[in-house]
Structure 1
Amino acid sequence: MEKDVFRNLDDLKKGANIPLCVQLKVPNTMPEHCDTEKLKRGQLFFQKNVSNCVLAMLSSLVCGLSISNLLDPLVFTKVSDTPKKSLFRYMRTLVHVIKWHHNDLWNENSPARASLDEVRQKHSAVAEAMLKQEPAGKIHLSQYDMSLVQCGFVGAIILHPQGFAIPPNVNDLDDFVYLWKFIGSRLGIMDRNNICLHSYQETFFICKQIEDDILLPALKNPPKDFELMATAFTDGLNLLHKVGLYTPEAVINFVLDVIGEKRKRQSITNELRILIFKLLVQLKLYIPGFQFLMNKLVMLFYFSVTRNQKKQKLS
């Protein structure tokens, strides 16, 4: 690839008519060209910043629900349209994500491989079910849609690391992108639509285009089910804290501040929530040990959820 010649959003949109298919061949063995040390550094980057990365991903999720390509499958499945259902659905998502960043992606006995195979198969099943009910034969969860999903996981981290208390070290971010090249592949994303295929620089370029051309316009004119699904998600999170810390408005406007976009002033309570989010970021950046504590809390929550999952399987 020529220097500074990157793929763009138009290139990704060519995958809009290519379905995500469970039969798509994915590598079950580590590719020969894989730099294992770089991949492990990408996992270590996430582990050191797990609470920050989770905050970035959760914020991206709320905002991403304004994009109909991402919202429609969630509405269709009806597994996250109430606070309780949403909480359990995204607790499972968190478990999947943490497994990908702590385990071997290819070993047949690895929790990460089993998790990636499970997620890929579920996505494919939803896509096939939606296709059968779509009179015009519209393809949902296409390769292009999966590019947007991948951006939802990595975009905020790559574009605005400091806004989520992540050190903006390009080498570390490049390692993280390298890891997600292989995570994306195992999720069934073809090379042409894998936004992490080449480099940090190209991934940054693509994510910035998605932010400017897809996300920000969608936030100004969200689809009809956005409020239902976004509120279900934030209300679900509030079930964990027993207080109303999250609302869609607070999370979205916090993100707009991180991006540097102008926004309307919110209610006093939502402005207070935004200040709390910003305070948490500042505490992580400047108070020794605070981020370590938050990381420990996230991992304790992860272990608690996985223990409960094992108990449910045994019962």
Structure 2
Amino acid sequence: MQETNNEIINLTTDERDVVQNEITKNDKNLQEKESYLISVEELSNNNNESLKKINSPQSPSVSFSESQSSVLKTLSFKFDNNNIIDNLTDVKFNSSGIHENNNNFNYEKDKDIDVNEDINSYLPSEIRLLQDGLDKGLQKTSTQDIRPEWFDINKFKKGQEFAMKYYFGVNFAEMLSLLILFSFDDGFQPLIFTDQSGTPYTSFKRYLSTVLRVKSWFENDVFDTNSIAYYNIKIVRSMHESISKKMNSLNVNDIDDKINRLLNEKNLKCSLKNSIKEDFKSSCPFNRIYQRKTNNRILYFNQCSMSITQFGFIGLVITYPDKFGAANATDEEMEGFIHLWKTIGYLLGIEDKYNFCNGSLIDVRNRCKDLINYCVLPSFCNITNEWEHFSRCLVKGVSFYVPGNTFEISILYLCYVLNIKAKKIYSSISWLTYFRLQIFKFTLCFALRFPILLNLANKSVKSALSRAKNFSNEKLEELGEISDEFMK
């Protein structure tokens, strides 16, 4: 087996200053009109939402329509322990539970309202539950040899069948999800710290190893002690525990010093960062939801971040199957895929309480929509130079064995999936890139509905992985030279 590190990427966000309270305390009339809250509970539960009415002690009653397409007025959030305020202004949600673009939304100029409340009171219950896991590390007791009571072998096998039947789209969705997971600190910092993804060549080795390990879980019995799938679970869990132990034992300054040193050694490629941030800010319903920290520091490989890593493997393809070549998939197949990743999450040390794949297909989809609205979109408003650099290295590295994709195509396809009107990004690309993007859309949204084309696409990716696994030394040297040229 290759020894390339391939720890699963987790999430949470960068620390930055946020909008200060601009309400003039002496203006009592202004306070009377604006110091109310809207509590949003279960924002994306299939048009069955209700916006709870909350009466502020100093404000009139406020109530809104129960439809997801209702316009939400101003929602202010606050962490008492970090004195952080976030807001939501004039946000519309479509029938799928994902935000609609709102031309009236102004990220920079909108005012927050001072609220002495805990943010947890206003988040969907699923997100609140995940946040509880920010201070809890990996399960220390090994679970690899014990099948959980809820394990269903038939569902598990059905999930494996789904993964291989729609392998092309599943693979592409997983790669796009890494762009999402890179935007969160407690997943991204270990990536930089281990120094295994900062060039196209190191990314190629790392993610090829990851893809092959995940593929083994799709094809073999993860509980069979003689199988490659069992071995790969053991290796990944061991890597997580090793890196977690090392990073959580270090002083925060030591971690920052090493990360800064490694970043300073690289010529960061980040020409599109500002355009991406502006496009997401123009569409994003929230300022960023901040993470809580243990003793004012990140707990690496915590239960929350490990759980949300599961989103990276199932979230996009389950929530938007028609955009990843799985439009013909049945609910039973997708339920099986969720069960497959629920089992893998359990084996990698996620407690049942925090397992992202708990519940039915509808439950998991709604959880995905909440995560996208409350965490993913706001996080992209704060991406950094290193985020773009590592994302570019990822896509370039993957193109070494599955050619045709670029960073620009990847980020634009993600914007398409998440309903982001990427005007700034589009203005920066060539007509050739635009044409290739349309081919991607046509292939994933239409062509792969035909079984013969789906089978050909799956076969092409599997063949590419098989070739890459056996690249000659001469080929690897060639890829290293391409990577060096990219880094200049």
Q: 1:209: how far off?
A: 1.2
**Who is 1:64 aligned against?**
181
Q: Report the TM-score, using the length of structure 2 for normalisation.
A: 0.58
Query: Partner of 1:223 in structure 2?
Result: 384
Cα gap change, 1:61/1:212 in structure 2, threshold over 3 Å: closer, same or farther?
Answer: same
Deviation at 1:306, TM superposition (A): 4.8
* Structure-2 residue corresponding to 1:162: 322
Alpha-carbon separation, structure 2, partners of 1:288 and 1:143: 39
What is the TM-score with the length of structure 1 in the denominator?
0.88
- Structure 1 residue 39: deviation in Å? 1.1
Deviation at 1:53, TM superposition (A): 0.4
Which residue of structure 2 lines up, in the alignment, with residue 250 of structure 1?
409
CA offsets 1:122-177 (integer angstroms, 9 cap, x no match): 11111111112233653111111101211111100111110111135222111111
RMSD: 2.4
Q: Note closer, same or farther for the CA distance 1:179–1:67 as it changes in structure 2 (3 Å cut).
A: same
**Letter matched to residue 259 of structure 1:** L
CA 15–32 in structure 1, closer or farther in 2 if over 3 Å, else same: closer
Alignment correspondent of 1:275? 438
Contact 1:75 1:225 in 2 (8 A): no
Tell me if 1:150 matches 2:276: no
Q: CA deviation at 1:24?
A: 2.9
Q: Distance in 2 between matches of 1:180 and 1:296?
A: 23
Higher-strand-fraction structure? 2
Q: 1:184 maps to what in 2?
A: 345
Q: Which of 292, 297, 302 matches 2:455?
A: 292
Could you tell me which runs of 5 or more consecutive residues in structure 1 were left unpaired when the two chains were aligned. 310-315
Q: Which residue of 2 aligns with 1:88?
A: 205
Give the alignment of 1:1-315 within 5 angstroms. Answer: 8-20=126-138, 23-135=140-252, 138-166=298-326, 167-240=328-401, 245-247=405-407, 249-264=408-423, 265-266=426-427, 267-268=429-430, 269-282=432-445, 284-306=447-469
Go from structure 1 to structure 2 and tell me whether the alpha carbon gap of 1:155 and 1:288 turns closer, same or farther (over 3 Å shift): closer
Does the residue aligned with 1:240 lie in a helix, a strand or coil? Answer: coil
- Relative distance call for 1:102 and 1:170 in structure 2 (3 A) is same
Once the two structures are TM-superposed, the CA of residue 287 in structure 1 deviates from its matched residue by 4.7
1:235–1:189: structure 2 CA closer, same or farther, 3 Å change rule?
Answer: same
Q: Which amino acid aligns with 2:372?
A: E
Instruction: Tell me, yes or no, if the aligned pair for 2:176 and 2:410 is still in contact at 8 Å.
Output: yes
Alpha-carbon shift at residue 75 of structure 1 (Å)? 0.9
Aligned length: 304
SS across alignment from 2:229: helix
8 Å contact from structure 1 (residues 83, 235) kept in 2: yes
CA shift, 1:63, in A, is 2.9
Higher mean displacement: 55-64 or 102-111: 55-64
Larger radius of gyration: 2
Contact 1:237 1:246 in 2 (8 A): no
Aligned-partner Cα distance in 1 for 2:205–2:341: 25
Q: Which amino acid aligns with 1:280?
A: T
Change (3 A) 1:187 1:276: same
* 2:325–2:449 contact (8 Å) kept in structure 1: no
Equivalent residue letter for 2:399? N
CA separation of 1:104 and 1:7: change in aligned 2, threshold 3 A: farther
Amino acid at match of 1:222: I
1:12, distance to aligned residue in structure 2 (A) = 0.6
Q: How much does 1:200 deviate?
A: 1.6
Residue type at the aligned position of 1:164: F
Amino acid at match of 2:463: L
After superposition, what is the alpha-carbon deviation per residue over 1:73-96, rounded to whole angstroms, capped at 9, x for unaligned?
Answer: 111111011000001100001001
Determine which structure has the larger helix proportion and give its number.
1
CA distance in 2, matches of 1:7, 1:98: 33
- Is the Cα–Cα contact under 8 Å of residues 402 and 464 in structure 2 kept in the other structure? no
Give the counterpart letter for 1:108 in structure 2.
T
More deviation, 261-270/107-116: 261-270
* Alpha-carbon offset, residue 68 of structure 1: 2.1
Q: 1:181 to 1:93 in 2, by over 3 A?
A: same
Deviates more, 1:166-175 or 1:299-308: 299-308
Q: Following the alignment from structure 1 to structure 2, what is the Cα–Cα distance between the partners of residues 53 and 221?
A: 27
Is the 1:127–1:141 contact (alpha carbons within 8 Å) kept by the matching residues of 2?
yes
Equivalent-residue separation in structure 1 for 2:403 and 2:151 (angstroms): 45
- Per-residue displacement from partner, 1:232-281 (whole Å, max 9, x unpaired)? 112212333666x311x321221121222322234224423422321321
Q: More displaced, 167-176 or 52-61? A: 167-176
Give the 3 Å change call, closer, same or farther, for CA 255–232 of structure 1 in structure 2.
same
Aligned residues with identical type, % of pairs:
27
Q: Which runs of 5+ in 2 are unaligned?
A: 1-47, 50-123, 253-295, 473-488
Q: 1:250 to 1:220 in 2, by over 3 A?
A: farther
> Using a 3 Å threshold, how does the CA distance of structure 1 residues 189 and 305 change in structure 2: closer, same or farther?
farther
Contact 1:68 1:223 in 2 (8 A): no
